[in-house]
Structure formats: structure tokens, C-alpha cells
Amino acid sequence: MAQSGQVDNGEKIVVRELLIQIIMFSLFIVTAMTFQTRDQKGKIDASAHDATGWRPACSCCTASARLL
């Protein structure tokens, strides 16, 4: 069976990884919202616009990150 010290180490690793994941999702949300806000205000260069339909994909990613 696992020793008490190993269980404590495992719990600490899991908590650290969850905190890292929350921080990364937060950074993504801030970046995506900043990009969308600038795009809506017309501050993004016209060369960034193309016919690939990235706006719905970006909105979908932002919505799913908010749910998480």
C-alpha cells in the first residue's frame, strides 16, 4: 500500500497542477477578450481578417473556457 508521505506528495502535485491550469485558462480568457474587444473596435489590422471564419471559433473557445 502507499505510504502516507507518498499520498501527501500526490495530493500536492494534483493541487499544483490544478492551480496552473486555472491560471492558464484565466490568461487565455483575458487574451481572447482583449483580442475580441480590439477587433470589434476596429483596432486590429485588416490583414488579420480572412474568410476562414475564425470569429465563431474564437467565441466558442471563450465560452467553453468560461464554463470551465
Q: Mean pLDDT highest for which of 17-21, 48-52, 55-59?
A: 17-21
Q: Indicate if the pLDDT at residue 42 is higher than 80.
A: no
How many Å apart are CA 59 and CA 5, to the nearest integer? 44
How many Å apart are CA 20 and CA 26, to the nearest integer? 10
CB 62 within 8 A of CB 40: no
pTM (predicted TM-score) = 0.61
All three cell numbers of 56:
465563431
How many Å apart are CA 7 and CA 24, to the nearest integer? 26
* pLDDT band at residue 66 under the 50/70/90 scheme: confident
Q: Indicate if the pLDDT at residue 1 is higher than 60.
A: no
All three cell numbers of 51:
474568410
